[in-house]
Structure 1
Amino acid sequence: MEKLLRALECTDAQKVVYATFALQDSIERWWSGTEQLLRMELGRNTPITWKKFKEVFNGTYFPDIVRDQKAREFFDLVQGTMTVEEYAAKFVKLSRFAPYLIPNEPKKICKFQKGLNDRIHPLIIASGVGTFIETMKRAISLEEDFKCNPGSKEDEKKQEPFNY
């Protein structure tokens, strides 16, 4: 929703009007009552800001305990049995709950790399990619290579080095 409102270059007041227009069923009924309470609290002629709307909405439908759980889930996130693509999607989705863990691109890359599985992680580190997108693409590419060439780590260790 916010992405759309930014693209439309809505004012603060328009964001509230458009967002509340999109509410349905029980959430629409919740807003009807909440809006009246806010107007009494703020004053009839004081507009409800987008910041205030989000604060009240998130406080009701997305309490701190849920946000904290999602931040913890992001903190503990590792690839495990997920594909790199699934891991990356979950990484991006959960990262918004703990932006303080990835305040810049290098920290974001580092966090993502640390969660990759043991077969991909060292190769990503060695490749020295510089952006999150490059890191993700390289990891997906490596995973695809492993699927096409399913040799085990034991097979790799048994191979003799080539002597001239």
Structure 2
Amino acid sequence: MERSFKLVRLGEDQKTIYPMYFLKGEVIYWWDSVKALEEVQPVTWNRLKELFLEKYYPKYMQKQMEMKFLELKQESMTVLEYEKKFTELSRFVTKYVETDEEKAQRFQQGLEYWIRDRVSMFEIDTYVRVVQKAALIESNGAQSRKERDNKKRKLFYQKERSESGYQHDKNVKRIGFQKGWNAQ
């Protein structure tokens, strides 16, 4: 709403009227009852936000979202999935990410340890750069694991082939020896 206020250049006295056209269902009835109780004085935009949050985003929910945010770790998510969840939750607890540097630090703290260790070497202090570097490190790590696994598989098959070839040679010699012995 506040972004749209800037777009349509609303004055303070209009800020509580404009949003009412966007309310639907039960919220309309809630607002009508609140307005009737607050009718002694005009409801300011700040008071409307306060009343709305009190009703639809109470303190206990705010605490829950704060805990979810503080406990958020990358774990089994990719960096980009983690970033999406981080962004979703951070909008509820802006006090922890007031600056770009704080946001970058907080994001970095939740990364998987092997990614976090590599990212921290770069001493990055912007959120976008931390996310980019973490995604790059994760991608390179996945590529390295794939190459390592391919090498292991190749070595395993080479060893297996050489052993089976050796076994084949022994079997041929044994069969040939037996045939020669039987012929005599």
TM-score bracket for this pair, using the shorter chain length: 0.7 to 0.9
C-alpha deviations, 1:31-87, integer Å up to 9, x for none?
111111111xxx2xx431111001001101110000011011111111111221221
Distance 1:15 1:27 in 2: 17
| Count of aligned pairs | 150
Paired position in structure 1 for 2:84: 89
Using a 3 Å threshold, how does the CA distance of structure 1 residues 11 and 143 change in structure 2: closer, same or farther? farther
Residue type at the aligned position of 1:9: R
Which structure: larger Rg? 2
Q: How does 1:23-34 map to 2 (within 5 A)?
A: 23-34=23-34
Q: How does 1:4-83 map to 2 (within 5 A)?
A: 4-39=4-39, 43=40, 46-83=41-78
% identity of equivalent residues:
28
Distance 1:145 1:14 in 2: 53
Distance 2:68 2:81 in 1: 15
TM-score normalised to the size of structure 1?
0.79
Paired position in structure 1 for 2:123: 128
Larger mean Cα displacement after TM superposition, 9-18 or 117-126: 9-18
- For structure 2, list consecutive stretches of 5 or more residues without a partner in the other structure: 150-184
Distance 1:115 1:92 in 2: 13
Given that residues 105 and 125 in structure 2 are in contact (C-alpha distance below 8 angstroms), is that contact kept between their aligned partners in structure 1? no
Using a 3 Å threshold, how does the CA distance of structure 1 residues 145 and 58 change in structure 2: closer, same or farther? same
Q: Larger relative CO (CA 8 A, sep 6+): 1 or 2?
A: 1
Structure with more of its chain in helix, by fraction: 2
Q: CA RMSD in A?
A: 2.4
- For structure 1, list consecutive stretches of 5 or more residues without a partner in the other structure: 155-164
C-alpha deviations, 1:123-164, integer Å up to 9, x for none?
11112223111111221222233333334999xxxxxxxxxx
Given that residues 68 and 97 in structure 1 are in contact (C-alpha distance below 8 angstroms), is that contact kept between their aligned partners in structure 2? no
Q: Secondary structure at the match of 1:16?
A: coil
Moved over 4 A (4+): 151-154
